[in-house]
Amino acid sequence: MASSTTSTVYIHVIEDVISKVRDEFINNGGPGETVLNELQGIWEMKMMQAGVISGLTERSSGQKQPTLGGPITPVHDLNVPYEGNEEYETPTADMLFPPTPLQTPVPTPLAGAADGSMYNIPTGSSDYPTPVNDSGGNTDVKGGRPSPYMQSPSPWSNQRTPLSVDVNVAYVEGRDEVDRGTSHQPLTQDFFMMSSGKRKREDFAKQYPNGGYNIPQQDGAGDSTSEVAKAEGSNGSYFLGRCDSATTAKSKILAHLARSSSKIPQLDGPIPDPYDDMLSTPNIYNYQGVVNEDYNVVNTPAPNDLQAATPAPVAQNDIGHDDDDEPLNEDDDDDDLDDVDQGEELNTQHLVLAQFDKVTRTKSRWKCTLKDGIMHISNKDILFNKAMGDFNF
Amino acid sequence: MATFELYRRSTIGMCLTETLDEMVSNGTLSPELAIEVLVQFDKSMTEALESQVKSKVTIAGHLHTYRFCDNVWTFILQGASFKSEDFVQNVDRVKIVACDSKLLSQ
Is A303 at the interface with chain B, CB within 8 A? no
Q: Tell me, yes or no, whether B18 lies in a domain.
A: yes
Q: Is the same domain home to B66 and B91?
A: yes
Q: Tell me, yes or no, whether B46 lies in a domain.
A: yes
More confident residue, A325 or B16: B16
CB-closest option in B6, B38, B99 to A291? B38
Q: What's residue A245's pLDDT?
A: 52
For helices A33-50 and A57-69, the axis angle rounded to 10 degrees is 130
Measured CA to CA in angstroms, residue A65 lies from A72, A177, A203, A330, A375 at distances of 12, 56, 57, 55, 33
Interface touch A372/B53, C-beta < 8 Å = yes
Q: Tell me, yes or no, whether A42 lies in a domain.
A: yes
Q: Is the same domain home to B62 and B88?
A: yes
Eight-class DSSP state of B11: H
As for how many domains chain B has, the answer is 2
Q: Is the same domain home to B71 and B90?
A: yes
Interface touch B63/A378, C-beta < 8 Å = no
Q: Tell me, yes or no, whether A24 lies in a domain.
A: yes
Q: Is the same domain home to B43 and B70?
A: no
CA dihedral for B47, B53, B55, B58, sign (positive or negative):
negative
Nearest CA in chain A to B60: A390
Q: Is the same domain home to B44 and B14?
A: yes
Compute how many other C-beta atoms are within 10 angstroms of the C-beta atom of residue A169: 8
Segments forming the whole domain that contains residue B63: 58-99
Q: Tell me, yes or no, whether A11 lies in a domain.
A: yes
Residues of B in contact with A17 (CB under 8 A): 16, 37, 40-41, 44
Q: Is the same domain home to B10 and B48?
A: yes
What is the bridge-based pairing of β-strands B3-4 and A350-362?
unpaired
Question: A389 - beta bridge partners?
Answer: A368, B59
Is A78 at the interface with chain B, CB within 8 A? yes
Is B79 at the interface with chain A, CB within 8 A? no
Cα A196 from chain centroid (whole Å) = 28
Q: What's residue A60's pLDDT?
A: 45
Interface touch A72/B26, C-beta < 8 Å = yes
CB-closest option in B11, B35, B56 to A384? B56
**Dist. CA A372–CA A116, nearest whole Å:** 46
Residue partners of A149: CB distance under 8 A and separation at least 6? A131, A142, A143, A155, A156
Residue B33 has pLDDT above 70, yes or no: yes
Q: Tell me, yes or no, whether A354 lies in a domain.
A: yes
Question: A380 - beta bridge partners?
Answer: A377
Q: Is the same domain home to B47 and B14?
A: yes
pLDDT confidence band for B44 (50 / 70 / 90): very high
What is the SS3 string spanning chain A?
A: CHHHCHHHHHHHHHHHHHHHHHHHHHCCCCCCHHHHHHHHHHHHHHHHHHCCCCCCHHHHHHHHHHHHHCCCCCCCCCCCHHHHHHHHHHHHHHHHCCCCHHHCCCCHHHHHHHHHHHHCCCCCCCCCHHHHHHCCCCCCCHHHCHHHHHHCHHHHHHHHHHHCCCCCHHHHHHHHHHHHHCCCCCHHHHHHHHHHHCCCHHHHHHHCCCHHHHHHHHHHHHHHHHHHHHHHHHHHHHHHCCCHHHHHHHHHHHHHHHHHHCCHHHHCCCCCCHHHHHHCCCCCCCHHHHHHHHCEEECCHHHHHHHHHCHHHHHHHHCCCHHHHCCCCCCCCCHHHHHHHHHCCCCCCEEEEEEEEEEEEECCEEEEEEEEEEEEECCEEEEEEEEEEEEEC
Q: Is the same domain home to B43 and B78?
A: no
More confident residue, A258 or B103: B103
Residues of A in contact with B55 (CB under 8 A): 4, 382-385
Taking chain A (393 residues) in runs of 10, the rounded mean pLDDT of each run is 71 92 85 90 91 65 44 53 50 54 47 44 44 42 44 47 50 47 46 48 49 50 48 46 50 53 56 54 48 49 46 47 69 64 56 95 95 91 94 94
Is the separation of the CB atoms in A186 and A81 below 8 Å? no
The string of DSSP codes covering B15-66 is HHHHHHHHHHHTTSS-HHHHHHHHHHHHHHHHHHHHHT---EEEEEEEEEEE
As for how many domains chain A has, the answer is 2
Q: What's residue A145's pLDDT?
A: 46
Q: Which of B5, B66, B67, B81 is CA-nearest to residue B37?
A: B5
Amino acid (1-letter code) at residue A163: L
Q: What's residue A94's pLDDT?
A: 52
Q: Is the same domain home to B66 and B83?
A: yes
Averaged pLDDT score across all residues of chain B? 92
Question: A367 - beta bridge partners?
Answer: A360, A390
Residues of B in contact with A30 (CB under 8 A): 33
Q: Is A107 exposed, middle or buried (0-12, 13-18, 19+ CB in 10 A)?
A: middle
Supply the CATH number for residue B63's domain. Answer: 2.30.18.10
**Dist. CA B3–CA B84, nearest whole Å:** 28
Q: What's residue B7's pLDDT?
A: 94
Q: Tell me, yes or no, whether A29 lies in a domain.
A: yes
Supply the CATH number for residue B13's domain. Answer: 1.10.287.190
Q: Which of residues 6-65 of B touch A (CB under 8 A)?
A: 6-12, 14-16, 18-31, 33-41, 43-50, 52-65
Amino acid (1-letter code) at residue A275: Y
Residues of A in contact with B58 (CB under 8 A): 387-390
- Stated pTM of the model: 0.48
Q: Tell me, yes or no, whether A343 lies in a domain.
A: no
Is A72 at the interface with chain B, CB within 8 A? yes
**Dist. CA A272–CA A290, nearest whole Å:** 19
Supply the CATH number for residue A18's domain. Answer: 1.10.287.100
Segments forming the whole domain that contains residue A24: 4-50
**Dist. CA A139–CA B56, nearest whole Å:** 64
Backbone angles phi, psi at B90, to 5 degrees: -120, 135
Measured at the CA of A40, the angle between CA A38 and CA A44, to 5 degrees, comes to 120
Q: Tell me, yes or no, whether A182 lies in a domain.
A: no
Of B16, B31, B52, the last residue of a domain is B52
